Structure 1
Amino acid sequence: MSVATEGTAAPLTVEYCGELYRVEPDAEFGIGREAELTIDDNPYLHRRFLTVSRDFGMWWLSNVGTLLTATVTDATGTMQAWLAPGAKLPIVFQTMHVMFSAGATTYDFTITSDEDYFDTTVKVDSSGGSTTVLPVTLTTSQRQLIVALAEGVLTQAVPGRGTIPTSAEAAERLGWSMTTFNRKLDNVCDKLDKLGVAGLRGGRGKLATNRRARLVEYAVTTRLVGVEDLPLLEGGAARLDQAADPVDGGADD
């Protein structure tokens, strides 16, 4: 692995809502409500939330905000990180996807670079088996729940900005009671938390207040759900799969 020097560093390109922004090595590029890349006038968004800069011979993505977090993945979704306030990550992929939520709105943009330190291409073994990111097994109703929450992000005409429904709106979309929806949301978050997915728990025995947004970010960026799952919401109220969820309130409910 070779690291380019400051003098030979190539600029990065940031793409948001179809617009391209060139990031030069000698300047810090801010992303937020009032920055070089002005995302939105959303009052829940920091004026300057993320920055892209060059340091120690590498490009870095830094979270300079105090409240919001961002989900970062490579182009394939096989590598995923949660960028908390004060954290920074080296940009080591030719393509990096960044997704974050502010209030009820989820935003995403892409960073591309000529430098590529790691190859994250998913390998398929000679026996024809496939490689998965995480051993996540979802019941039909769990997948329906995630798709209902991610529908606004998955159906964007131009990637960049989507909305996440409230629990009440998602429950109505599915034709479920709030009790059923909240119980299944608890179980999905608990399942992913046990697999090491950060941001779904607010502490010991506590649920994170923004878990719906974090769940959508993780599920979309890691390809846990996609546009191919949208038909699960068709035909009116989504029926609970009793075969997949035989016990109401079970651990995998």
Structure 2
Amino acid sequence: MPGTERPLRVEFAGEWHTVSPHARFTIGREGDLSVDDNPYLHRHFLELSFHEGLWWLANVGSRLAPTVSSAGGAVQSWLSPGARMPIVFAQSVIVFTAGPTTYEIALHTDEAHYSVASQVQTSMTGEATVMPVSFTPLQRVLIVALAEPMLRREGVSVSELPSSSAAAARLGWTMSKFNRKLDNVCDKLDRMGVQGLRGGTGRLATNRRARLVEYAVSSQLVTRADLPLLDDESLHDSADD
């Protein structure tokens, strides 16, 4: 039951921090966990604290919104500025992008208030379908091209988000083809209810690509097993189809 004051462990780029239930723990350009001297990153972005018998994660920034994934990607939240959420699973992964850089931070607790149902565990091993959406081979390889740096990483760490032009060149596609396929992928996920993928006034292309990568990797929509798609010559035709 909630109420047991147990420390929370934070993992980032091979470093571990133990958070006391009696103190607040800040994450950002500065703070208890200084992630990176990145001008796009808030000085104080995320805050961990223990109260009401639970650990809570709060977004104390004003612009960035991390993706928080638990239960092997089966449970996801997009934490908007000013919002907070309880940490109720044994392990959660926080993914966020600031400028061209994507960061991953893992949270570990010895006391989980919720566990993963056996049906979900089965689905996450590939024995059942998790996502109620399908993608064409060209749409899937686009996601893999954008997510490649994260998929090749080891553990929770830092990776660079490729530009649209770099990802298009990786696939041998024209920019018009790349942008059209990206629109199709984002529209599909937006119709599913995935937030942060719809364009609009003031919506930077970088934000949309970052959100797509964060969601795709955190939900295991694409995994390291999909990387061979990048070497499939049949998907590298530069024709604007």
By the TM > 0.5 criterion, same fold? yes
Write the letter of the residue equivalent to 1:219: A
Shift of 1:138: 1.0
Unaligned segments of structure 2, at least 5 residues: none
Matched residue, 1:143: 140
Shift of 1:68: 0.3
Matched residue, 1:119: 115
1:38 aligned residue (34, 39, 44): 34
CA distance in 2 between counterparts of 1:87 and 1:131 reads 33
Q: Does 1:58 align with 2:54?
A: yes
Aligned CA distance change for structure 1 residues 124 and 117 (closer, same or farther; 3 Å) = closer
Matched residue, 1:94: 90
Matched residue, 2:2: 3
Shift of 1:160: 1.0
Shift of 1:131: 4.0
Judging by fraction of residues, say which structure has more helix.
Answer: 2
CA distance in 1 between counterparts of 2:14 and 2:77 reads 24
Structure 1 runs (4+) deviating above 6 angstroms are none
Percent identity between the aligned chains? 51
Write the letter of the residue equivalent to 1:118: Y
Between structure 1 and structure 2, the one with the greater Rg is: 1
CA distance in 2 between counterparts of 1:164 and 1:62 reads 25
- Structure 2 residue matching 1:180: 3-state secondary structure: helix
CA distance in 2 between counterparts of 1:122 and 1:174 reads 38
Aligned CA distance change for structure 1 residues 122 and 181 (closer, same or farther; 3 Å) = farther
Matched residue, 2:100: 104
CA distance in 1 between counterparts of 2:141 and 2:232 reads 13
1:134 aligned residue (108, 131, 136): 131
- Structure 1 residue matching 2:159: 3-state secondary structure: strand
State the Cα deviation string for residues 38-66 of structure 1 (Å, max 9, x = none).
10001100011001001211110000000
* Residue correspondences, number: 237
Unaligned segments of structure 1, at least 5 residues: 249-253
Shift of 1:181: 0.1
CA distance in 2 between counterparts of 1:30 and 1:124 reads 32
Matched residue, 1:25: 21
- Structure 2 residue matching 1:157: 3-state secondary structure: coil
Contact 1:97/1:109 (8 A) holds in 2: yes
Contact 1:141/1:240 (8 A) holds in 2: no
CA distance in 2 between counterparts of 1:125 and 1:216 reads 23
Aligned CA distance change for structure 1 residues 49 and 125 (closer, same or farther; 3 Å) = closer
What are the residue-to-residue correspondences of 1:181-200 with 2, within 5 Å? 181-200=178-197
Q: Does 1:76 align with 2:81?
A: no
What are the residue-to-residue correspondences of 1:145-184 with 2, within 5 Å? 145-184=142-181
